[in-house]
Structure 1
Amino acid sequence: MNHSQDVTRILFEGFQPQAIYLFYVLGFTSIAVFAYGVYVQIRKYRRGQPDASWGHFWTRFVDMFKTMMTHRTLKRRDKSAGRAHALIFFGFVLLFLGTATITLEYDFLEPIFGIRFWYGDFYLWFSLVLDLAGAALVGGLLYMMYRRKWLKLPKLDYQRPDRQPEDPDYDRSAYRREDWAFLWTLIIIGITGFMLEAARLVWLIDNAAIWETRWWSPVGALMAEAMLLLGFTAESAGIFRTGMWWFHGVLALTFIALIPYTKVKHIFTASASLMFRDPLAGRRLPAVPEDQETIGVKTITDFTWKQLLHLDACTKCGRCHEACPANAVGAPLSPRDVILSLREFANNALQKNELPDEVELDVHGKDVGQVFMETLWSCRTCMACVEICPVAVEHVPIIVQMRRKLVDEGNMEPILQKTLQSIHKNGNSMGESKRKRPRWTKDLPFTIKDARKEPVDVMWFVGDYASFDPRNQVVTQSFAKLMHQAGVNFGLLYEAEMNAGNDVRRVGEEGLYEFLATANISTLEQCEFNSIVTTDPHSFNTIRNEYPDFGGQFEIQHYTTLLKQLFEQGKLKLKQKLDYRVTFHDPCHLGRYNKGYDAPRELIQLLGCELVEMDRNRDNSFCCGAGGGRIWIPDPVGLEKPSENRMREAGEIEGLDVFIVSCPKDLTMFEDALKTAGFEGKFVVKELIELVNECVEFDETVTIDAEIVSA
C-alpha cells in the first residue's frame, strides 16, 4: 500500500478566511466557557474539608486507568449497559483523539515545524478507525435510548422514596430531560459527522484520489451512495456540506462548552472518583481529627473535597437504588437520592461567588434539598450501594458522617439512645450486667481458659448476641465444644470483653465507639495470644479493619475459616454427612465487607448438604436488616422487613430444608422473619455451627444435643 499525499482531507476546504476566523472565535469562546466552568467546579470542591486521598498517586492512577479500560465496574450485574457504555466511551475517546491529532498537525506541527503526516496510508487508516469509532458511539447511544424508552427499568425512573408528590422537590423530571438531551446531542453529533463525510465525498466525486479510496470510510461511503441515489449532485452536496459543517461544528463546540455544567462532566468526575476511591470505604470509617471542634456533618462545607467530588461523579445509573435493602422494603431511603440531593444542595450553595450563611448551608432538615432524618436512620450500612457503584461513590461514609451530627444533637429514636447509654454503662447492647457475659460457659462440661490470666493460642472474641441472647448461646456453646474437641488452646476475656463497637460506630456515636475500641484494645494487649477468632462478623470487621487506627493490630479470623482449617488438619472428623437441601445467606460484614464467601460454602459442601444459591448471593447478598444499629430500632408498623423479604426469596427454593446463617444477628433476625413471613414449619433457620455439630465425631466427654432448634 503506497498512497500519495493527495489522499488527505483539507481542513476548511472551500471556506473563506472570514469563515475560518469566525470558527476560531467560536472555538476559543467555547474553551473559555469550559475553562470557567472547570474553575467554578474546582472552587466548589476547595470549599470542602481536606481529605487524605492524595497518597500513592501513580498507583491510584494506574488502577483507575485499568478500571476504565476494562469497564469492569460497569459490566457487573448489567452487562448490556456495560457493553453499550464501552462502545460509547471508546468511540468517544477515539473521536476525541482523532480531532486532537488533526488540531496538533494543522495548528502546531505544520505551521511551526513544517511537520505533516495526515495523508496517504496514515490518513486512510485514520479514516477507517474513526469511522468505526463513530459507528460504535452511535450504536451504544441507540441501545441506551432503547433501554430508557422501552425497557422502562425501575432504577431509571428517578421516583423518590424520601418525598411525597406534593413536596416541591419531589419532581426530578429535569434529570430525565438532561439524560435525553445528552443522548440526543451526542447521537446528532455522531450522525451529522457521517453526513458531513458523505456530503464531502459526493462533493469531491470527480477527485479520483478521494472517490476511489472512499471505502476507507465505510459508513460515510454508504451514506454517500445513498445521497447519490437520492439525486444529490456534486454541487448540491457541496452546498449541503457547508450547512452541515457549521451545524455539526457549532453543536460540537456547544457540547464542549457545557461539559462542566451538565451530566457530561461525569467524564472527568467519575474518573477522579475512581482514582481517589478508598479500598476500605465503609469497612473502615474515618476517625474525628483531634483538632476538629465539631462532630459529623451539619453543613455542606463539612464534607471533604473528595465527598463533594463523589456527589458529581454519580451518573444516576440507579444500581445503588436497586441494591438497597431499605429502598426494597419501602423505607424512605435511596442511596442515589441522598447523593443527588446533596449534589443539588452543593451546586446551589457552593457554586456562588460568595458562600451563604451557615443556616443556608445546613444539609439536615425538611426544606428543599435537605436530607430527612428518617432517610438517614433507614440505612442499614450494609454496603450494597458502595459495593455496586461503578464510579466508586462512597455512600455509607457520607451517611454515617451525617448521622454523627444527628447523634451529637440527640436526634434519634429514644430506644436507640437508651441502647447506647446501656452500652456505655454495661459494655453491651443487651442491658445486662457485665458479670453475666460469661454465664453461658457454666453449662459446658469443661472450663474455658481466662485469657487474662494465662496464655492461649486463640483468643475468642464472643460478641454481645452470642454471649447474652439465649438462642445464640446454644450456638456459642456448640462452637466452644467444637474447639475443645479439636484441641484448640483458646480462651476468653470473660466479663472484661465489651461490645466491639462496629454498629455503634455506624450508628454515628463516634465518641462511644472510640471508648469501646480503646478499652478492648487495652484489654487484649494485656493478654498473651497468637490470633483472635469470632463468630460475630460485625466484631470481625471492626477489629480487623478499624482497630489498627487505634493501635490494635491483631490477627483475626471468622469461625468459618478456623473450622475449615481444623477439618483440613484432621483435628475435627465427621461421623456422618447430611442430606439437607440448603441455602446460605452471606452476612454483610463477612461477605460484602470482608470477601469471606468461600469458607462457609466449603464447609457446607464438606457436610454433604445440597447448596442451592438464592438469586442474591455473595457480593449481591441481601441484608438481614440488622446492620447500622437497625437491630436496636423498631421497624415501622406495616412496612416489610428486609429479613422478611429475604425469607420470601429463600421460600422460592423448592424442597428447602435449612436456611443457613453464620452471624448471631442473622440468626435473630431470620428466625423472627421465618414466622412473620409465614414459612414456619416449611424450613428452619440454623447456624452453620449447628450443622457442623450434627456431623462431627465427639468424644464422650463432649456430647452435644444435635436436635434442630427452631425457637
Structure 2
Amino acid sequence: MLTASNFDKASVTRILFENFPSFAIGLFYAVGIAAIAVFAWGVHIQIRKYRRGRPVAGPIDLRARFADMMKVVADHRTIARRDPAAGRAHRMIFYGFAVLFIGTATVTVDYDITARVFGYHFWNGNFYLFFKLAMNLAGVSLVGGLIYMMVRRGWIKPPKLDYKRPDRQPADPDYDRSGYRREDWAFLWTLILIGITGFVLSALRLVWLQDRAVVWDTRWWSPVAALLAEFLRAAGLGSSGASILRTGLWWFHGLLALTFIALIPYTKIKHIFTASGSLMMRDPLAAQRLPRIAPESQSVGYKAITDFTWKHLLNLDACTKCGRCHEACPANAAGAPLSPRDVILSLREFANEALEKNTLPDEVKLDVHGKGIGQVFMETVWSCRTCMACVEICPVAVEHVPIIVQLRRKLVEDGEMEPQVQKTLQAIHKNGNSFNESKRKRAAWAKPLPFEIKDARKEPVDMLWFVGDYASFDPRNQRVTRAFATLLHEAHVDFGLLYEGESNAGNDVRRVGEEGLYELLAENNIAMLGKSTFKRIVTTDPHSYNTIRNEYPDFGGKYEIEHYTSLLARMIAEGTIRPRRSLDYRVTFHDPCHLGRFNKGYDAPRQILAALGCDLVEMPRSRDNSFCCGAGGGRIWMSDPVGVEKPSQLRMHEAARIEGLDVFVVCCPKDLTMFEDALKTSGYEGKFVVRELIELVAESLADAAGDGPVSDDQRKAVLA
C-alpha cells in the first residue's frame, strides 16, 4: 500500500469543494449557518424549559460527576446490561458516529481555521491517509450497528419496544404512540443514509479522479470506498458520469447531514446530550434516599410541571424509550395500569407542550395529575411498588421512583388515596405501627421465650435489634422473630430491644408519599435511639434497614446497622454458630428489593445457604434483576384487582419451574407474608414451601437423630 512518501505531501489530500463554483460554496455555507441557527434556537428552548423547573438542592460536584459520566458513556455498561446485543450495536453506532463527527470537525478546523488564519494545512500526507482509514472503519461501525437496530425493530420486535400503553384505552386521544415509532425509523434511516452516501461519495470521487495517481494509487486507505469504486467501474461508470453523480449526491448528503444537526434539539437525536447530562447528574442513592421537603416550601410534591426540578425535567428528555424499565416493572407484568416508561413519556410530552412556549399557560394547564391528555392517572401512580427495578436498569439514569413518589406526595396532601391506605397511615400515626395495635404489644412476641431480652432504653447492650412491624405483630412472622432471638441468645450475643419505644421505621410510609408522617416517625425513632446505649443495630426487616441506613442520616441519625443475613453469615464463618447437620434441601432464594437492589446485599444469604448444605438453584431473575414480591411502596396495604395475578403469584410460577424444588427461601417479613399467600392461591401448596432463612438456620442447629443430611422423612415433614 502506498504512503505519502511516494508523492508530494501537499498533494496527498482531498480538495474541499473541488470543481464547485463560488456561488455553490457560498450557498452551502449559508445553509450551514442556517442549520446552526436552528440548532442554537432549539438549544435555547430546551435550556429555557429546564430553567422553568425548580433548582436541585445541595452542592453538586460536577468534576466528579463528569468523570463518572464519561466512564459510563465510554464503556456502555449500562446499555449492554441484560441486552448485550443491543449494547454491542449501540457501541458500534456511538463510536462510529463519534469518530465521524471528530473527523468532520477536524476537516473544518483545517480548512476554515488553520489554513485561512495561519496558512497551514495539516490534513494531508500520512495524517490524511490514516484519517481516511479511520473514517472508513468508523463508517462501517456506524452502518453495521444501525442495520442491527433496524432488524431488531423491524423483524426481531422485542416486546419491550412495543409502545402499547397499559394506562390508556384505545379510544383515548393519547393512546396512540405510533409517532414515536415513526420518529425511531426516521432517525435510523437518516443516519444510515448519511453513512451510506458518505461511502458512495468517496467511491464516486475515486472513479472521477481515477486518472490522478495520488488519488487512485492511495485508494485502499479507504477500503470500503475502494471496493465500491471497483464495482462502479466494472458496471461501466466513467469519470464524467461519476463527476455528475457526485455533484448531486454531494448536495443530498450535505443537506441531510445539516438537517440532522438542525433537528437535534427537537427530536430523539437530542438524547446524545440529554442522556449524557442525566448520567452526569445521576444520584447513586436516588431511590434509597428520597429528598426531604424544604421547611420553607409552600407546596408538597409534584402537582404542576413547574414543580419538577430541572434535573427531573432533564430525566424526561433523557429517556430513549428502550423499554427496559417497562420490561422490569412488576406492576406492569401483573397487568396494572403502569409502565415506568409511559409515565416518563407522558410527563415529557406534557413538559414540552407546557414549557417550550414563550409564555407559560395558566396554572390549571400546568397540573400533571388527572385524566387529560399527557396527565398521569391516580391509578397509575398508586400502582408502583417503588421496588427500584426501573431505576436500577435504566441505562440513562432516569429517576422513575423519586418522580412517582413526588407525584404521590401531592395526592396524599390532597387526600386522594385508597381508604385502606389512609386508615393504615392513621394507625401508624396513632400507635406507631401499621397493624393498629397498642404500642405496649410491640414486644408481646417475646413472652413465650424462656429467657428475658434486655430493654436497651434501660441498660446498655452491644447490639440493638430494630424488629419492625411485620416481625413484631404478624403471627406467622412472630415465629421467625422468636427463632432469631433464640439464635442470638444461644450464641451469647448481648442484644436488646426498644420495646414499645420502637415505631414503624417509615420506609414505606415515605414511599407512599406521606412525608410529614415519615419525618415524625424518623425523629421519634432517632430520639429513642439517642436515649439508648448500644454499639450497632441489626434488623430482620430490609425496609427498616434501608431507611435507617440511607435516610436517617439526613435527620441526624447515623448508625452502624446491618441486616441479619450479614450478621449470621459472619457468625457462621467465625464459628460462633455451628450448624449441627447439613440441610440437604434443593432451594431457591428470593432477593428482597430493599436488601438486594437497594443495598447490594446479595452474598450473605447465599453464603448462609451454602454453609447449611443446601443445593441452591438461582431464580432466572435474581440479584439486581430480582422480581419484586409486590409489597413495597405501601402496596401491601392496598387491595389488588380481583381476577388479576399479583407479582407474588408470578414469582411462584417462576419458582415452580425449578425441578425438584423443596424450599423457596426469603429473608424479609413482607416477603414471607406475600409468598406464603401466593403459594396457596397459585396452586403450588404441597409442592414446595416458603421458609424464612432464619428458620433454616434454626433447623440446622436443632438436635436430630444423627448429624447427617436431612432424611426423606424429614424433608416430607418440612413440605407438609
TM-score normalised by structure 2 residue count: 0.97
1:244 aligns with 2:249: yes
Q: Is the 8 Å Cα contact of residues 324 and 334 (structure 1) preserved in structure 2? A: yes
Q: Is the 8 Å Cα contact of residues 54 and 276 (structure 1) preserved in structure 2? A: no
1:663 aligns with 2:677: no
* Match of residue 158 from structure 1: 163
Q: Is the 8 Å Cα contact of residues 686 and 719 (structure 2) preserved in structure 1? A: no
Q: Distance in 1 between matches of 2:702 and 2:490?
A: 9
1:652 aligns with 2:664: no
Q: 2:401 aligns with which of 366, 385, 396?
A: 396
Q: 1:618 aligns with which of 623, 626, 632?
A: 623
1:9 aligns with 2:9: no
Q: Distance in 1 between matches of 2:584 and 2:189?
A: 57
* Match of residue 207 from structure 2: 202
Displacement of 1:120 in angstroms is 0.9
* Match of residue 533 from structure 2: 528
* Match of residue 469 from structure 1: 474
1:76 aligns with 2:81: yes
Displacement of 1:287 in angstroms is 0.4
1:322 aligns with 2:354: no
* Match of residue 303 from structure 1: 308
Instruction: Report the secondary structure of 2:442's partner residue.
Output: helix
> Which string of whole-angstrom CA distances, capped at 9 and with x for unpartnered residues, describes residues 65-95 of structure 1?
0001100000000000000000000000000
* Match of residue 612 from structure 2: 607
Q: Is the 8 Å Cα contact of residues 87 and 139 (structure 1) preserved in structure 2? A: yes
Q: Distance in 1 between matches of 2:442 and 2:719?
A: 24
Amino acid at match of 1:225: E
Q: Distance in 2 between matches of 1:208 and 1:424?
A: 87
Alignment of 1:333-348 (within 5 A): 333-348=338-353
* Match of residue 453 from structure 1: 458
Q: Distance in 2 between matches of 1:508 and 1:75?
A: 33
* Match of residue 365 from structure 1: 370
Distance 1:215 1:119, change over 3 A: same
Displacement of 1:638 in angstroms is 1.0
Q: Is the 8 Å Cα contact of residues 662 and 719 (structure 2) preserved in structure 1? A: no
1:420 aligns with 2:425: yes
Displacement of 1:53 in angstroms is 6.5
Q: Distance in 2 between matches of 1:182 and 1:53?
A: 37
* Match of residue 539 from structure 1: 544
* Match of residue 68 from structure 2: 63
Displacement of 1:698 in angstroms is 7.5
Q: 2:99 aligns with which of 88, 91, 94?
A: 94
Instruction: Report the secondary structure of 2:263's partner residue.
Output: helix
Displacement of 1:530 in angstroms is 0.6
* Match of residue 711 from structure 2: none
Displacement of 1:17 in angstroms is 0.7
Instruction: Report the secondary structure of 1:686's partner residue.
Output: strand
Q: Distance in 2 between matches of 1:54 and 1:474?
A: 47
Q: Distance in 1 between matches of 2:22 and 2:443?
A: 90
* Match of residue 589 from structure 1: 594
Instruction: Report the secondary structure of 1:518's partner residue.
Output: helix
> Which string of whole-angstrom CA distances, capped at 9 and with x for unpartnered residues, describes residues 409-436 of structure 1?
0000001100000000000001111011
Q: Distance in 1 between matches of 2:56 and 2:227?
A: 53
Displacement of 1:52 in angstroms is 3.2
Amino acid at match of 1:685: V
Distance 1:508 1:576, change over 3 A: same
Q: Is the 8 Å Cα contact of residues 69 and 280 (structure 2) preserved in structure 1? A: yes
Q: Distance in 1 between matches of 2:120 and 2:241?
A: 35
Amino acid at match of 1:655: G
Q: Is the 8 Å Cα contact of residues 313 and 391 (structure 1) preserved in structure 2? A: yes
Displacement of 1:115 in angstroms is 2.0
Q: Distance in 2 between matches of 1:435 and 1:54?
A: 43
Amino acid at match of 1:68: V
> Which string of whole-angstrom CA distances, capped at 9 and with x for unpartnered residues, describes residues 201-247 of structure 1?
00000000100110000011111111111111000000000001000
Q: Is the 8 Å Cα contact of residues 569 and 608 (structure 2) preserved in structure 1? A: yes
> Which string of whole-angstrom CA distances, capped at 9 and with x for unpartnered residues, describes residues 105-143 of structure 1?
100111111221111100000000000000100000000
Alignment of 1:39-438 (within 5 A): 39-52=44-57, 55-438=60-443
Q: Distance in 2 between matches of 1:26 and 1:640?
A: 58
Amino acid at match of 1:355: L
1:36 aligns with 2:41: yes
> Which string of whole-angstrom CA distances, capped at 9 and with x for unpartnered residues, describes residues 295-328 of structure 1?
1110000000000000000000000000000000
Q: Distance in 1 between matches of 2:140 and 2:418?
A: 56
Q: Is the 8 Å Cα contact of residues 500 and 542 (structure 1) preserved in structure 2? A: yes
* Match of residue 22 from structure 1: 27
Q: Distance in 2 between matches of 1:53 and 1:168?
A: 40
Displacement of 1:149 in angstroms is 0.6
Spell out structure 1 runs of 4+ moving beyond 6 A. Answer: 706-711
* Match of residue 574 from structure 2: 569
> Which string of whole-angstrom CA distances, capped at 9 and with x for unpartnered residues, describes residues 260-302 of structure 1?
0000000000000000000101000000001101111100000
Q: Is the 8 Å Cα contact of residues 485 and 698 (structure 1) preserved in structure 2? A: no
Amino acid at match of 1:65: M
* Match of residue 682 from structure 2: 677
Instruction: Report the secondary structure of 1:659's partner residue.
Output: strand
Instruction: Report the secondary structure of 1:557's partner residue.
Output: strand
Q: For this pair of structures, how many residues does the alignment match?
A: 705
* Match of residue 500 from structure 2: 495
Q: Distance in 2 between matches of 1:198 and 1:54?
A: 53
> Which string of whole-angstrom CA distances, capped at 9 and with x for unpartnered residues, describes residues 161-212 of structure 1?
0000000000000000000000000000000000100000000000001001
Q: Distance in 2 between matches of 1:358 and 1:294?
A: 14
* Match of residue 702 from structure 1: none
Q: Distance in 1 between matches of 2:630 and 2:267?
A: 36
> Which string of whole-angstrom CA distances, capped at 9 and with x for unpartnered residues, describes residues 546-590 of structure 1?
000000000100000000111122211111011100000000000
Displacement of 1:7 in angstroms is 1.1
Q: Is the 8 Å Cα contact of residues 431 and 438 (structure 2) preserved in structure 1? A: yes
Q: CA RMSD in A?
A: 1.2
* Match of residue 708 from structure 2: none
Gaps of 5+ in 1: 700-705
Q: Is the 8 Å Cα contact of residues 685 and 710 (structure 1) preserved in structure 2? A: no
Gaps of 5+ in 2: 705-713
Displacement of 1:710 in angstroms is 7.5
Q: Distance in 1 between matches of 2:58 and 2:559?
A: 25
> Alignment identity in percent?
70
Q: Is the 8 Å Cα contact of residues 464 and 497 (structure 2) preserved in structure 1? A: yes
Instruction: Report the secondary structure of 1:552's partner residue.
Output: coil
* Match of residue 489 from structure 2: 484
Q: Distance in 2 between matches of 1:411 and 1:25?
A: 56
Instruction: Report the secondary structure of 1:393's partner residue.
Output: coil
Q: Is the 8 Å Cα contact of residues 166 and 336 (structure 2) preserved in structure 1? A: yes
Distance 1:161 1:30, change over 3 A: same
